[in-house]
Amino acid sequence: MSSATTPHTSAAPRRSALADPGYQAFVILRAGFTVAPILFGLDKFANLLVDWPVYLAPWIDDLVPGSAQAAMYAVGVVEIVAGLVVAVAPRFGGWLVAGWLAGIIVNLLTVPGHYDIALRDFGLLLAAVALARLAQRYRGGRPAR
């Protein structure tokens, strides 16, 4: 018989999941791909970290209506939404972020002098794909069967 002072919860399975290196990787990637897109998306409105319009390829700037900064506002909204999607649905959000990063890479490869950032974003794309795959495995905090 259990008493009111010794609650029986699912602490043991939870501790077991947290001890799994694969689950730890999933949690790290999920947190990173939630926080980073939201923060960088918000910065598109303030330009505190970077002068974001500089990274917009001229051909894209010619395609979108308005200024490069107005395009960055739209980019910021997409990034904030992507971060929120990763938070609530990482199996879908990981692929969403990977696709968004692929678009960013194409943009950066057409702006001379930004190839190093395109390479970095390719690494982030691979991490976003890893997040989506790990999210498939760790639905609800437990390995999928």
pLDDT in tens, 77-102: 999 999 999 999 999 999 999 999 99
The residue with tokens 């259990």 is 2
> Residue 2: what pLDDT?
52
Q: Which residues of the chain have pLDDT under 50?
A: none
8 A C-beta contact, residue 131 and residue 29 = yes
Task: Determine the pLDDT at residue 19.
Answer: 86
* Amino acid 9: pLDDT: 56
- Which letter, b or e, does each residue of 22-49 get, where b requires 16 or more Cβ atoms within 10 Å of its Cβ? ebeebbebbebbbebbbebbebbeeeee
Give the Cα separation of 74 and 59 in Å (integer).
17
| pLDDT score for 50 | 95
CB proximity list for 47: less than 8 A, separation 6 or greater: 53, 72
Within 10 Å of residue 15's Cβ, how many Cβ atoms? 9
Q: Write down how long the chain is.
A: 145
Q: Which residue is listed with tokens 């989506």?
A: 132
